[in-house]
Amino acid sequence: MPSEKAYPFQEELRFLRAWVARPRAVGAVAPSSPALAHAVAAQIDPAQPGPVLELGPGTGALTRGILARGVAPERLTLIEYDPDLAKLLAAEFAGVRVIKGDAFDLEASLGSAHQPYIAVVSGIPLLNYSVATRRTLLDSMFDRMAPGGPVIQFSYGFHSPISPASDIRVTMTAFVWKNVPPARVWVYRKR
C-alpha cells in the first residue's frame, strides 16, 4: 500500500510541473481520478500469480488503484520516464519496483531476463503518437506478457488508440465520467 498519500494539491502540482516540462508525454490536463484508477485496476486479477507492469505511472494515480485492487507491492513494477516523478513514486510506494526508464524501449528499461507479466497497465498518452509507434509499443508489451494477459490502456478519444487486428482483440470495458476529461478503458488481448 502507499506509504503516505500525497495531498491532492501536491499531486496536482507534481502533475502540472511534469505537464509544463513535457506536455506531449503527459497528455492530460489533470491526474487520473480514483474512479478511472478503479476501472483500470478492475481488469487485473490479483489472485493470478505473477508480476504486473505499469508504464507511465506519472503521479501514481493508477498505481494506487492497482494496489487497492490487491496486487502486492512486490509484484508491481513501474516504468516512469520523468526522473523527478520516478523518485517521488519510489518514495511513496514502498516495496514497488520503480524504474526510471523508457516505456518505448522495454528491452533497455527491463533487460532481457524477466518473468512474464500477467497484466500491463499503460498510462502512456497513445493518441499523441503515430499509429505505427502505438502498434510497436503494444507488440513490445505482448512480448513481455503471459499468454492471455491483458494490456490495459485508457484514452480520451472515442475510438481505441490501437485498432483491432487479426491477432489483437480490443474491448472497451468502461467509460468513466468521473475523470477530467472523461475516459474510456480499453483491454487488448492476443487472439
Burial 6-20 (b: 16+ CB within 10 A, else e): beeeebeebbeebbe
Cβ pair 189, 163 in contact under 8 A = no
CATH code, domain with 135: 3.40.50.150
- For residue 182, being part of any structural domain is answered with yes
42 falls within a domain:
yes
Residue 127 lies in a domain: yes
Structural domains of the chain, count: 1
Within-domain flag for 1: no
Reading the chain (191 residues) residue by residue, the pLDDT tens digits are: 444 454 555 655 565 555 455 555 445 556 899 999 999 999 999 999 999 999 999 999 999 999 999 999 999 999 999 999 999 999 999 999 999 999 999 999 999 867 899 999 999 999 999 999 999 999 999 999 999 999 999 999 999 999 989 999 999 999 999 998 999 999 999 99
* Any domain includes 44: yes
Domain extent for 115 = 8-190
Whether 81 is in a domain gets the answer: yes
Strand arrangement, sheet containing 76-80: 97-100, 76-80, 52-55, 119-122, 151-155, 183-190, 168-176
3-state class (DSSP) for residue 112:
coil
